[in-house]
A and B are shown apart, each in its own frame.
Chain A
Amino acid sequence: MSKKDIIICRCEDITLADIHKCLEQGYTTFEELKRILRVGMGPCQGQTCSSLIQKEIAIFLKKKAEDVLLQKTRPLVTGVKLQDIADSADE
């Protein structure tokens, strides 16, 4: 299967080929890939792609996967409507 057909980040439609291109350009941390490619910025906030990307970085840098830092986890845990937040803020 071509790297261009392997989707790594489903929210932002980023392929394995995109990831490898960025790694070769010298962006070798998750935070850099996130800013350039938007991986981990979609509605799932990296729940699917983060461990896949962690492994790809590890292979590229010849490191153990657990030695590759993931992206910073930010609130919210799940998507919440602004109107719902506004309504409950008034309570």
Chain B
Amino acid sequence: MNKASIVVIGAGISGLSAAYNLAKRGLKDIVVIDKAYITSGSTGRCGAGVRQQWGTALNCILAKKSIDFFMHAKEDLGYEKDIEFKQEGYLILSTSEAEDKVFDKNVQLQNSIGIPSQRLTVEEALKIVPHLNPNAFTSASFCKTDGHINPFLMSEAYYLAAKKLGVTFYFFEEVTEIIVKDKSIEKVITDKRVIYTDKVVNAAGGFAREVGEMAGVEIPVFSENHEILVTEPTKQMQGPMVMSFSKNIYCQQVPHGSFLMGRSNPKALHDHDISSSWQFLDEMAKTVCNILPKVGQLRVIRTWGGSYNISPDHQPFISDTEQLNGYFMACGYSGHGFMFAPITGELITEMVFGDKLEDYAKDLNIKRLDDKNFTDFEQSVV
């Protein structure tokens, strides 16, 4: 009979980090199932940025703890290749007086949590990214320890480390049912086998709501398409990620030499569409040529899309639930699951082992939605 101590659904970065951390803690018979392969969903489609400049304390803490791990991830995971961590910062542009004030407040919050961000004038920002259009922004914030990591290789690092610790992976296999009996999980059924288990981690990314429904667990998240484009590689010319919430753009040169950039579509539907559109290409090109004119001389070679799995307050659920014993979820990252992956795996492990969580982590519980006093809402998103 096929048995597992826990079944992790989804081999994106969240599921891989959860499986690795659980195995490291000593749990045996961990199974990870993915309907395709590692990073085949949102992780492999993400913008590959890692940042700590957030507007809510919760997101700041998750981001800082994750960056702390990324800095020695290669050694900790015993990965032979390079995860391509480029720590040259995020430069976030403000474009109005009202936004200046928000940035003042955000940087104050970030500093109070130990994040080394700072406010910059236009002149100071130009020293860091000389090809910025000085007329396109009014001030900036900068955190030098933010940056870029290769999502494929970071995921592979977790995957190989988890495999070495004995985690079993089933790829190209889809979970079709989760059978529940007396408020507990009895088994997970896939298109290839039945696995008896009393614990499940929902790390299904864009399909988190559906994997909740499978077990009768209601998770109020939805997916929406976010498109990205990449240019031909060129010589190193931009250190930090340049981002603006009000202009709706993020744009970074990755170590390989390409520029990666994306923006959100305010009219995106709540569905699983991940197609590319000409409208995105037009708007993206106009925006980047305005802010970073020199980048306009580069050729676009490919566009793609991926799902943001969005929660009501743009903060994730890393949570167990009163709805069902043994059911854990890591979802609703609202576009930022890759950069929060290290802390995700650690927290899921603590929850599975029944540890007492740090105070801040209680707000990651899905119960926060019922708490009328909980009003924190993340606005610093593209």
Contact = CB atoms under 8 A, between A and B. Distances in A.
A interface, size bucket: 20 to 34
A74 B300 contact: no
Contacts of A76: 281, 300-303
B37 A89 contact: no
Interface string B37-62: 11110001000000000000000000
Interface string B182-212: 0000000000000000000000000000000
A89 B281 CA distance: 9
Nearest to A32: B37
Nearest to A25: B160
A83 interface: yes
B302 A41 contact: yes
B289 A82 contact: yes
Contact of A74 (B36, B256, B299, B304): B304
A79 B232 contact: yes
A27 B37 CA distance: 9
A83 B285 contact: yes
Given A82-B285, A85-B281, A85-B285, A38 B296 contact: no
Given A29-B37, A36-B152, A79-B232, A86 B300 contact: no
Contacts of B295: 82
Contacts of A81: 296-300
A86 B285 contact: yes
A80 interface: yes
A75 B302 contact: yes
Contact of A75 (B38, B286, B298, B303): B303
Interface in B258-299: 276, 281-286, 288-289, 293, 295-299
B231 interface: yes
B224 interface: no
Interface of A: 27, 29, 31-32, 35-36, 38, 41-43, 45, 74-76, 79-83, 85-86, 89-90
Interface of B: 36-40, 44, 152-153, 156, 230-233, 256, 276, 281-286, 288-289, 293, 295-304
12 contacts: A29-B37, A31-B40, A35-B39, A43-B301, A76-B281, A76-B301, A80-B300, A82-B231, A82-B289, A82-B295, A86-B289, A89-B285
Given A80-B300, A82-B295, A83-B285, 11 more contacts: A31-B40, A35-B152, A45-B301, A45-B302, A76-B300, A82-B289, A83-B289, A85-B282, A85-B300, A86-B282, A86-B288
